[in-house]
Amino acid sequence: MSTLTRLPLLLLLLLASTLARAADTLLISDHTDRLNLLPYLEYLPDSAHTLSFDDARRNADRWRDAPRHRESLNFGYTDDVYWFRFKVKNTANSTQSANIEIGYTVLDNVDVYVEQADRETLLYELGDKHPFHDRLVEHRNFVVPLNLEANSAATYYLRIQTTSSMQVPLFLWRDASLLKNSQAEMLGLGIYFGTMGVMVLYNLFVFFSVRESNYLYYVLYVASVSLFFASLSGISFQYLWPNNTWWNDQSIVFFLACVVLFAALFTIRFLRIEETFPRLHHVGTAVVLISALIAASTLLFDYRTMIAVVITWAIIGITLALGVGMYRWVLGDSSAKYYCISWFTFLIGGIILALNKFDVIPRNFLTENATQFGSAMEVILLSFALADRLNIEKRRRFEAQLHALENERVARLAQAEALQQEKNARKAQEQALVHEREAREAQAAALAVQRQATETLEHKVRERTHELEIANQRLEELTYTDGLTGIRNRRYLNRALEREFSRARREKSPVATLLIDIDHFKQFNDTHGHLVGDDCLREVAQTIQQCALRENDVVARYGGEEFCILLPNTDQPGAMRVADQVCEAIRDILFDVEGQRVMITASIGVTSCIPERHQDVDRFIAAADSALYASKANGRNQVNFALPNFSSPLNQHNG
């Protein structure tokens, strides 16, 4: 090949090489309103967490090009620190301004170094380990302003360390475009959270109207889902707890665990598992207990430890709920149809989100928001399911009412028949004017028939009324009595609390409450079995009952192994005396299990106050719960007192 023919080829190769190298540097004057920085990005893993900024600059041969076929980088859950860098050049004759957005809100530590020739290197410290108001731009994502003078260049280095998934979506925005995109995102989030809020308020109103626990569990479930996504999207950190960095990390796994917990409670109640599948009810109870334990564990262990556990348990819990719902659907429960479809949409969204976080599928708009779409559809469909269940109950009550009306119609027909007989008797009496003797006999017969019919009718009415009174008394007793222990239940306690709290507020008199929790009851139950555990609950309930001597004192089962004593007209010293008596009485119980004497102890939380106007029962109970928590934390088998704090946000402890 001659030199003349080689020259164009060499020039072409040189030009291609030049263009390839130029592609590694972002020419800011050429970019559109939104630009993905992935094609310009290099990354450097730091497994030992030892590289400084100068070390990262010097290790030029270890930098790797980012993959170009994805929307963003996603390394999943990793302990490694990652360095990223990209180069920006302003080829225009004027200063260029833009914004660099890191579109993943839960990264822990993001250090941004800006290196420019003949200038001191700038350092910006970002991440959700820093208070929200320390950010350069108050945005739910991490935003760093970019300003380049005419014909200048800069290299941006990012050092990222996080316990969450290592996802790094990097974009360059013009100011107006970033604002427009943020408004669109907030509109979408507003529609989502608005929908969830409407579902919460509507079903909370229904709950207060019908007092059906299904609606309360549904409200708590939807609230947990909403708070989970608010934490995941950075909305909570921006508006609810901008200075609490620890809680911002833990809230994601805590609310996700609460989603599973309240979903399990809702499923057990909605599908009537205790009534229709007694054996499966034990599995459901185990799911609830495990979910509660996991939720409590999220407050003790770090995010990295708990996120895999919570996501795995969430998928298992949803799958179990879906399986039970499908079985009920097959058996002909029409409400289960909505239930299954709703859980299926949420399950698909949850699986997509989990696969995204573990770097199985790429991060994009669909994979990031699939669970929100699924959860919105789910809560709407579950609301339909609750409405369908309510309609079924209304139809049953309507049929019962029709039956009662039919009985009333029969009674009226009997009465009409008696009246007709009376009319006939009177007619016979008129006809008997000529035959007085026959008329008197006919009249006597007619009167006898009338009297018999009236007595029969009155007897039937009295019997029916008596039966209804007995049935109503039994129904009311069953409604307010705990089936296991024979004492009052939580529903009766709630009404008594509202009544006594209102009376104490009105009369300016003290009212006290004791929350009693049997120490280590789960271990006792697991060791000796549920039947012995039930006997233990009954024994403790009777012991507590004997300590509440006044007529107005209320002893109720609060839930599980927890009991409550409501003491009207009782101040702190009086409440503490009763609590000490209860604690000692329970300690004196020597429970016989297979010939062995087992000692039982209890932890008690006490609160007392003279309630003022606008002070509610929930914070009153929360004070007793806080005191109970202190009794447990201080070694159990003791009594602690706490005053209600009616001015602070409600924050009850989990036992």
Q: pLDDT digits over 172-188, tens only?
A: 888 888 888 888 878 88
**Range(s) within the chain of domains with CATH label 2.60.40.2380:** 25-173
Pick the CATH number of 25-173 from 2.60.40.2380, 2.10.109.10, 3.40.50.1950, 3.30.1600.10: 2.60.40.2380
Reply yes or no on whether the pLDDT at 592 is more than 80.
yes
Tell me, what's the pLDDT at 651?
A: 52
Strand arrangement of the beta sheet that strand 602-609 belongs to:
554-559, 562-568, 511-518, 602-609, 639-641
Backbone angles phi, psi at 63, to 5 degrees: -70, 140
Tell me, what's the pLDDT at 4?
A: 37
Reply yes or no on whether the pLDDT at 618 is more than 50.
yes
Mean pLDDT of 334-343: 74
Of all residues in the chain, the percent with pLDDT exceeding 90 is: 27
Q: Which CATH architecture has domain 182-397?
A: Up-down Bundle (1.20)
- Residues 360 and 366: their CA atoms lie apart, in Å, by 14
Reply yes or no on whether the pLDDT at 368 is more than 90.
no
Reply yes or no on whether the pLDDT at 2 is more than 50.
no
**Range(s) within the chain of domains with CATH label 3.30.70.270:** 490-641
Mean pLDDT of 370-385: 71
Chain centre to alpha carbon of residue 208: 18
Any idea which of 47-51, 286-290, 592-596, 610-614 has the lowest mean pLDDT?
A: 592-596
Reply yes or no on whether the pLDDT at 535 is more than 50.
yes
Q: What is the residue-averaged pLDDT of the chain? A: 82
- In this prediction, residue 432 has a pLDDT band, given cuts at 50, 70 and 90, of low
Beta-strand ranges (E) seen in 444-500 are none
Tell me, what's the pLDDT at 465?
A: 65
394-429: pLDDT as tens digits: 676 777 777 777 788 888 888 888 888 888 878 877
Any idea which of 514-518, 581-585, 641-645 has the lowest mean pLDDT?
A: 641-645
Any idea which of 77-86, 261-270, 296-305, 334-343 has the lowest mean pLDDT?
A: 334-343
Mean pLDDT of 298-312: 87
- Whether the CB-CB separation of 653 and 300 falls below 8 Å is answered with no
- In this prediction, residue 286 has a pLDDT band, given cuts at 50, 70 and 90, of confident
Tokens of 633: 């934390």
| Helix-strand-coil split of the chain, %, nearest 5 | 60, 15, 25
Tell me, what's the pLDDT at 476?
A: 66
Beta strands at 590-593 and 511-518: parallel, antiparallel or unpaired: unpaired
Reply yes or no on whether the pLDDT at 9 is more than 50.
no
Fold of 490-641: Alpha-Beta Plaits (3.30.70)
- Whether the CB-CB separation of 126 and 142 falls below 8 Å is answered with yes
3-state SS assignment for residue 598: strand
The b-or-e profile of 262-298 (16+ CB within 10 A means b, else e) is bbbbbbbbbbebeeebeebeeebbebbebbbebbebb
- In this prediction, residue 5 has a pLDDT band, given cuts at 50, 70 and 90, of very low
Reply yes or no on whether the pLDDT at 361 is more than 50.
yes
- Whether the CB-CB separation of 216 and 207 falls below 8 Å is answered with yes
Beta strands at 25-27 and 81-89: parallel, antiparallel or unpaired: parallel
Backbone angles phi, psi at 480, to 5 degrees: -110, 15
- In this prediction, residue 156 has a pLDDT band, given cuts at 50, 70 and 90, of very high
- In this prediction, residue 23 has a pLDDT band, given cuts at 50, 70 and 90, of very low
- In this prediction, residue 11 has a pLDDT band, given cuts at 50, 70 and 90, of very low
Reply yes or no on whether the pLDDT at 66 is more than 50.
yes
Selection from 620, 580, 623, 486 nearest residue 542 by Cα: 486
Taking the alpha carbons at both ends of the chain, their separation in whole angstroms is 87
89-139: pLDDT as tens digits: 888 888 888 899 998 888 989 999 999 887 888 888 998 889 988 888 888
Selection from 190, 258, 272, 186 nearest residue 222 by Cα: 258
**Range(s) within the chain of domains with CATH label 1.20.1070:** 182-397
Reply yes or no on whether the pLDDT at 160 is more than 70.
yes
3-state SS assignment for residue 74: strand
Selection from 257, 256, 246 nearest residue 293 by Cα: 257
Tell me, what's the pLDDT at 579?
A: 96
